[in-house]
Structure 1
Amino acid sequence: MAGLLSFVHRSWQNAVGAPKAIKAGDAIKVGVLGAANIGPMALFTPARYHPEVIIYAVAARDRKKAEAYAKKHGIPHVFSSYEDLLASPLIEAVYIPLPNGLHLEWALKALQAGKHVLLEKPSVANAAEAALLFHHPLVTAPSAPVLLEAFHYRFHPAWLAFVALLDRPNVAHARASLKVPGKHMGFGAGDIRFNYALSGGALLDLTYTMSVLRGIYGAAPTACTSCEVDTMPSPPGDGLCDYKYDATWTFPNGGTGETHGNLQAGVLESLGDFANAEAVHRPVVVPDAALPGGLEKVRTRRVAYTNYIGPAMWHRIDVEDRFVVRKRGGGEVVREWTAKESKKAYTLRDAGIDRPSEPYWWTYKYMLDEFVNRVRGREGTGAWIEHEDSVEQAKTIDMAYAASRLPLRQTTKFDPASV
């Protein structure tokens, strides 16, 4: 009952109960490119109680759509085009939740305009585009604006607590899943998620699973050893857009991994395996001064993290350690037992970081904090998505598409040399 009440209280605070912040005089004015459905959850709500962020303007390809969006979400200004918004000297940063195939073009144009960029994942359509964007002089110059790929889950205390429990060099196998009941959420065949021309496909849309796997190992995979996909019928994807994937991987330390994603999962499947991560370790000898000579203690650890996408609602981190006391060098087993523990981390202090936060903060609020810290040149928690991380993520997705025998998502027709 206490857990249910905590969940209800956190959800209420995040939705309506948290006090609106009094905005600082120098608050960052953010412009939004596109009237995307993800905007309220990913930015508008966390900005509501951030004193240094104002959602200032929106632009869409259809001005009437932009005006309706602005009215609905209380955005004070509407621009007639993306270009007009980027030209405004009052806007300091932009949020780009456009279709995947448009990310490279508008990220580069925003950076050229001197705007800091919060870029929805996946950052771009393929690894070639990622290298072009994240190695571009507009990004690498010492005074370059901030560019962040919005893997919001990586900023939450629960993720930080999860990875702190891992012994990355000794991870033997990892698993990550993300299964969404898209049939019940309007993700039909006509959805842009399944439009190949706009870089659609589940491997891109549910790219979190590959990111989680890389985060568990702290390294990029050496290979995608298999990738089985189910594709949407045409139109619009011409059979080229996956809605479901099951992939296997190898990593530099010899470990293996598996990722499972489904944009058309049934409700029960989604409830049972929505957003889960797991790491199983190799047996390792752990010190124990109480043991008599000639004996050693060996630990085999399993760490499972349930609901890495929405941990503010509810999450659970389960640690299971199997111990064996045996004769030194792998001899006869003298004793064995299993220790189990469950952990939760809703605030930074729960994760051992002495910084203020609130249990109702969603992953997006923690991400927005770190984005603002970077823009302002302040020290943060240390959580960040480095540019090379985003490049490696795109390479990983390309590996999966190559193993699936589907084509890589096509490179944009936009000419980067024009920037």
Structure 2
Amino acid sequence: MMSGAARTWSDQELIGAALSSFKISSADRERACLLFADYLHLIVSGKKVAPSKFSDDSLSSVAYFAKACSYSDLDDVNWKELTHPGSIIFSSLLPFLFSTEVNSKNFLRAVIAGYHGSSLFAQILQSSHSRNWHASATSGIFGAALATATLLELSDEQKGQALHFASASAGGSANAPRSQNGATRFTRIHAALMGSMSTLEAAESSPAPLYIVDGPGGLSERFGVVDHLPASKPNDALHQISIRYFPYSGFSHNALEKLETHLPLDSQSVKSIDLHLHEPLFTLIGSSKKGPWWDLAAAISNTIANGDPFDSKTASLNADIRVEKSEGATSSAVIKLANSEIAFDFGIQDRIGIDPIDIPRVHRKWASLYPESAELTELASQIIDGSEDAVAALKKVIQAAG
């Protein structure tokens, strides 16, 4: 392959990369288990508020799970690619896992294949793709297709066909995330549902669209995909995933992590809070217009007043709060107290790469979402290891939740 010059991916290169074999390490197993457990806690929590119901129909359940797990907007995230793969991948897999026709011992490999596929396509589509499209959806549909095709043990030829179907169905406008009102639940549903349907159509050998990337109507023509092969190995994808802990937008989390190291603070002594936010943080979390979830100043105020970033009760401080747009490379906060000052930098870049997930924070999150967290976490571990009994037990837990 030539290097240096921009070029369009060929379909065969793409299928070869997407279907490349991989070994599963103990670290892969542990990370997959952690992400699956996080997803399950979101499912049982979201089930309490999601208006639709869990069904025995697989495709209806795909849509239901994708909605329920993203209700609180705390599903996992790849900060480098700005995607939320887990809510789409696990939602496509779980209904088929509940079927008696699949081998539960394929589940772990299917999970990893899904994360690899989602990351691969997110790299191909490039970060600039997010200006016009919801990258979680456009890349997630391929992750869902590869995950379900692996779980159902389709042949490599059929998996390739599933990618053709997924390419024809990929979509999700950027106006969903930019609306900041929960509309991204729908684009997650679309990706999980259409990725699953892509696999089912491939399994039936239905006529598939001819092109994925490099032909008329392919990804390159629609999305401007022109790039060299991704430099990072696909099997790094699983370990680039972060878990969101606090009940605020993930874009606020790094600032709250930095603030947490200074707690507790005497809220009465806080005189002023100055936030300097570079883009995209200024646009995303620099205003109170979209409510406290998207308002970093409110998140910081609540955290100081309540003494805990997990406590989102609305609180006010008798302090001057200023939010300004920064032209610098990082964002910063300066909190002036009666006799001292706290200052720290923060940003998305702090979350990029191999993320050392904070396990105590994860368990605090899970405990806040579901009282029987230990039981659910153990079921996740057993299912990752292929236990059919655990699959049956999980179905009962989900049916009983809410």
Structure 2 length normalisation: TM-score?
Answer: 0.26
Identify the structure with the greater strand proportion: 1
Identify the structure with the greater helix proportion: 2
Structure 1 length normalisation: TM-score?
Answer: 0.26
Bigger CA radius of gyration: 1
> Does 1 or 2 have the higher relative contact order (CA < 8 Å, sep 6+)?
2
